[in-house]
Chains A and B, each alone.
Chain A
Amino acid sequence: AQRVTQPEKLLSVFKGAPVELKCNYSYSGSPELFWYVQYSRQRLQLLLRHISRESIKGFTADLNKGETSFHLKKPFAQEEDSAMYYCALSGRDNYGQNFVFGPGTRLSVLP
């Protein structure tokens, strides 16, 4: 079954510290992985998708198929990064198209 896990419900770091939000997935096909962010009282916004291999707001994420992971990283966290982060998977297998979100990790960047 398709599944996305984010082991940390809450992650607190100090401003300027590195941050890594973990995401693991299980999927039989070849998925596309995304990170979505939801700032306080705002809509879900796409942050990154693995196929674009870009850096947005200083965040990067590398798809590791061997470890089935797509961890989100930023070398120096900023207070404005405080938000809810969701890892998501989209893919097609023999049963159809699948869209699965992880449970989310709340990042709190402390001053």
Chain B
Amino acid sequence: EPEVTQTPSHQVTQMGQEVILRCVPISNHLYFYWYRQILGQKVEFLVSFYNNEISEKSEIFDDQFSVERPDGSNFTLKIRSTKLEDSAMYFCASSFYTDTQYFGPGTRLTVL
């Protein structure tokens, strides 16, 4: 069964550095999403992406964040200048339509 994959599984970075989190959605899916989960807190929606553009974004998704689908298979989340409070688990998800989302295993981002 196809799955969403994410790399790396764990990323450690210094505050102020840029990070790129990578996701490979399920191949025939059309909608792509990023979520984050700060340790001990709930899963929070960041952004959804469809037809090569952002379709929805939350208040968390400020100018420090950007998403891209550079090559038709990868879906990336970039954080330009990381802050301590960006430390979290970041989940990518994809769906064929705006219904059932399939999640990746997550990338744990640690900002020092």
**Which A positions have Cβ atoms within 8 angstroms of B?**
32, 34, 36, 42-46, 49, 86, 88, 90, 92, 96-104
Give the docked Cα–Cα distance between A102 and B43 (Å): 8
Give the docked Cα–Cα distance between A92 and B102 (Å): 19
CB-contact partner of A99 in B33, B42, B102, under 8 A: B33
CB-contact partner of B101 in A46, A102, A104, under 8 A: A46
Write out the residue numbers on chain A whose beta carbons fall within 8 Å of the beta carbon of B75: none
Write out the residue numbers on chain B whose beta carbons fall within 8 Å of the beta carbon of A90: 98-99, 101
Write out the residue numbers on chain A whose beta carbons fall within 8 Å of the beta carbon of B55: 96-97
CB-contact partner of B100 in A49, A98, A100, under 8 A: A49
Q: List 24 A-B contacts (CB under 8 A).
A: A43-B4, A43-B91, A43-B106, A44-B43, A44-B91, A46-B100, A86-B43, A90-B101, A96-B55, A97-B55, A98-B45, A98-B56, A99-B45, A99-B48, A99-B56, A100-B45, A101-B35, A101-B42, A101-B43, A101-B44, A102-B42, A103-B41, A103-B42, A104-B42
Determine chain A's interface SS by DSSP, over half rule. strand
Structural contact, A96 and B42, CB atoms closer than 8 A = no
**Which B positions have Cβ atoms within 8 angstroms of A?**
4, 33, 35, 41-45, 48, 55-56, 91, 93, 98-106
Q: Closest residue to B41 on the A side, CB-wise?
A: A103
Write out the residue numbers on chain B whose beta carbons fall within 8 Å of the beta carbon of A104: 42-43
Known A44-B93, A90-B99; further 16 A-B contacts with Cβ < 8 A: A32-B99, A34-B100, A42-B105, A43-B106, A46-B101, A86-B42, A97-B48, A97-B56, A97-B98, A99-B45, A99-B56, A99-B101, A100-B45, A101-B42, A101-B45, A103-B42
